[in-house]
Structure 1
Amino acid sequence: MHRRTTFGAVAGLALALAAGLPAAAQDASTAEQTVDVMNTLWGKHPGFRANHAKGTVVEGSFTPSREAATYSKASLFAGPTVPVTVRFSDATGLPLIADGAKSANPHGLAVKFKLAEGGEMDVVVNALKYFPVATGEEFRDLLTAASRSKPDSPKPTPVERFIAAHPAAGTAGSTAGTPSSLARQTFNGVNAFVLVDTAGKRQAFRWRFVPVAGEDLLTPEDAEKQAPGFLMDEIRARLARTPVAYRVLAQLAQAGDATNDATKPWPDDRPTVEMGTLTLTKPVADSAEAEKALLFLPNALADGVEVSDDPLIDARVQAYAVSFSRRQP
C-alpha cells in the first residue's frame, strides 16, 4: 500500500482524529495513549510536538542519482531536482532541552520532498541504528514504564522490568551520539519500506542519510559542555555561509532480513544504493512559525515507494497525527 498526500490531506486526517471520532474511541487508541504518556513525561507545551519538540526548519533540494530510477519508478528518482523542506530536531517533548543533553538523542531529520507532478513525499529518520521496540503498543508501554519509574521506586523499577523483557530497549539509545554539527550526523531509517520499479519488481530497503562532510560525534562530556542551542544555532549559521549535503542511500534487504521488526538492524554488509543527494541551502526565516504548519507522515509516499509490513510505520503515522491535532490553535 502507498499513499501520495498533500499537506491539506494529512492535516485533515490529523484534525479528524481529534474532532471526528468519539472521545471514548480516541481515549482507547494506542496513539492517544502514547501522546498522553509523552505529555506526562515531558509536560504539555502548547504549540509544540509531543516528541521531538525542539527543532529548526531549513530548505534545499534533492537531486536523484542515475541508478535510483532502476530501483523505483517514483518521479522523485527520475528527475529533475526538486525542492525540499527539512526539519532537524532533538528528542523528547521539551522545547528548551539542551542540544547536547544525553536525552536529546536521537536527533531527528524529517524531509518533505515537493514532487515534480505535484504532491509531496515524506521521509522521517533519526540517528538510532535500530529502534527500542517493534510495535506501537510496546512503545507506549516503554514510555509508561519510564513515567512510573522514580528515583525512589523499588528495584527493579517498571522500566528495568520492561528492558529485561525487551533487550533492544536497553541498547538502542547507545547507538546515537551528539554530533559536532547536524551537518556531521548520520541519520538512519529504522523502518523498512519497499522500492517498486517499472516492471513491478519489489525491493525492501531502509533509508540512510550520510553527511558528505563525514560523521563527527562529540564525547558525552564535551556534548554536555556546549551551549543549550549549539546544534540548532550552528546549522542555521552554517547554511547562511555554505550548503550542507547528505548522500541519500537505500540499504537493501536480503533473504532472511526482518522487514517487520525495527529492533533488528540488518548486517552492515548489505548492499546500499546511492539514491541521490540532499543539499540544504538556507534556514527558513521564521522557523517557529514554519514548524506549526509542518506535519511529516512516514506513509506519505510517491508511487514507486511503498510501506512494508513494519507495524511501527502506521503507529508513527497515527501518533504524529494526534500530536499535530493537539498543537493546533
Structure 2
Amino acid sequence: MPLPTDEKLLALSKDLLDQFDALFGLHPGFRPAHAKGVMLSGTFAPAPEASKLTSAAHIVRESTPVLVRFSNSTGLPTIPDTDGNADPRGMAIRFMLAEHTHTDIVSHSTDGFPTHTGGEFLEFLRAVAASNGATEHPTPVEAFLGSHPAALAFVQTPKPAPTSFARETYFGVTAMKFTNADGASRFGRYRILPQAGNEFLDDAAKAAKPENYLMDEIAERLKSAPVKFDISVQLAEDGDTVDDATIHWPETRTLHPLGTVTLDKVLEDGPHQAQHIIFDPIPRVEGIEPSDDPLLELRAAIYLLSGRRRRSAPAV
C-alpha cells in the first residue's frame, strides 16, 4: 500500500499522528490510537443473500480465514479496560483472500464519528490537549464542542462498558459502495452484531472488574465455544448522505446480511501480529469501493504511517 501523493493529505496525516503522540505519549511498537488489544483468528462464511449485494471475493467463496483485533480506545497500551476513556472499543477484521491479498473492515462500538473532515478532527484533538488542566470556562474543548454539534453528539452518546468483546456491536465509520455481479450498486455501512447479544456493565459492576477483564474474558470464553458475529450492511436509500461519517441514517434502513465471522482462537503470537499488521479502511477489492468520504484516504494514510513506524520499533 503506497503513501498518498497528495502533499496536503500527507501533511495532515503527519500532524494528526503528532497530535496523538502529544496526547498519549510515545509508545514504540504500539498504535497511536487503540493501542491495547488482542488478536484472534477464525473464519468468515457468507450469507446466502450476500452475493445480491457484492461480488467481492470473500462473498463468492464458501469460507475465508480471518484475523480479528479487538481493542480499547486511546494510545495507552496499558489503559485499564475499566477506564471510561477505553470506549469506544474497536473491532478490525482482515479477510485473508490469498497470500499477500486481503481486505479489511475497521469498526468501533459507537455509531458515527465526531467530525466530517480530518482538519476538524485535528482541531478537536488540539482542543482536548489544550484543555488538560484548564480552569477557565469554556475550555478549548468545550468551545469546540459548542460550535460542532456532531462532535458534541458523539461525545455525549452513551458508551457503556461491555461484559465481553463478544457482547458488543460494532459499526463501520464510513460508507462503502457495494456492487454485485450484475453491476448493480448500493451504498452502505457495516454493522457487526454479536450472536450472543449485547450486554453491558453498570458503573458499580465495572468498578469491581480487574483492569484486564476484557482481554482475559475473551480468551476464557473461547475455551468453551467459538464466538460468532453476524456482519450486515445498513443500506442507504436515495437522498441519504454517503460521504459524511457524522450523519446517521434512520434505523428503518435495511440491514442486508453479509455473513458470519466465527472466532475460535486467541493468537499466541498476538503482540507480534498486532505490531506488524496494518489494517486498511479502504477495501481494495473488486465489488466493494470506498465512498467519497474524506476520512477514508486520511485514515488509510495515518494507518500506513503509524504502521511503518510500529514495524520498525523493537519487538513488544
TM-score range, shorter chain: over 0.9
Q: Contact between 1:102 and 1:220, CA under 8 Å: does it hold in 2?
A: no
Q: 1:95 deviation in Å? A: 0.3
> Pick from 275, 296, 306: which aligns with 1:313?
296
Match of 2:71 in 1: 89
> Pick from 107, 110, 128: which aligns with 1:128?
110
Task: Find the residue that maps to 2:241 and give its secondary structure.
Answer: coil
Match of 2:171 in 1: 188
Q: 1:34 to 1:114 in 2, by over 3 A?
A: same
> Pick from 230, 249, 257: which aligns with 1:266?
249
* Structure 1 unaligned blocks of 5 or more: 1-9
Q: Contact between 1:239 and 1:281, CA under 8 Å: does it hold in 2?
A: yes
Task: Find the residue that maps to 1:84 and give its secondary structure.
Answer: strand
Please give the per-residue CA displacement for 1:52-71, whole angstroms capped at 9, x wherever unaligned: 00001000000001100111
Quote the Cα distance in structure 1 between the aligned partners of 2:112 and 2:160: 13
Task: Find the residue that maps to 1:155 and give its secondary structure.
Answer: coil
> Pick from 38, 49, 57: which aligns with 1:67?
49
Q: Contact between 1:75 and 1:116, CA under 8 Å: does it hold in 2?
A: no
Please give the per-residue CA displacement for 1:30-75, whole angstroms capped at 9, x wherever unaligned: 1111111111111110110000000010000000011001111112
Q: 1:104 deviation in Å? A: 0.2
Q: TM-score when scaled to structure 1?
A: 0.90
* Structure 2 unaligned blocks of 5 or more: none
Q: Which moved more, 1:114-123 or 1:221-230?
A: 114-123
Q: 1:171 deviation in Å? A: 2.3
Q: 1:221 to 1:322 in 2, by over 3 A?
A: farther
> Pick from 188, 206, 209: which aligns with 2:189?
206
Q: Contact between 2:283 and 2:290, CA under 8 Å: does it hold in 1?
A: no
- Give percent identity, aligned residues only: 37
Match of 1:36 in 2: 18
Q: 1:63 to 1:57 in 2, by over 3 A?
A: same
Query: Match of 2:289, as an amino acid?
Result: E
Quote the Cα distance in structure 1 between the aligned partners of 2:100 and 2:57: 10
Quote the Cα distance in structure 2 between the aligned partners of 1:64 and 1:158: 47
> Pick from 285, 293, 302: which aligns with 2:276?
293
Quote the Cα distance in structure 2 between the aligned partners of 1:261 and 1:37: 23
Match of 1:51 in 2: 33
Query: Match of 2:114, as an amino acid?
Result: P
> Pick from 227, 230, 244: which aligns with 2:227?
244
Query: RMSD over aligned Cα, in angstroms?
Result: 1.8
Q: 1:251 to 1:26 in 2, by over 3 A?
A: closer
Aligned length: 310
Match of 1:3 in 2: none
Quote the Cα distance in structure 2 between the aligned partners of 1:27 and 1:133: 16
Q: Contact between 2:188 and 2:234, CA under 8 Å: does it hold in 1?
A: yes
Q: 1:175 deviation in Å? A: 4.1
Does structure 1 residue 78 correspond to structure 2 residue 53?
A: no
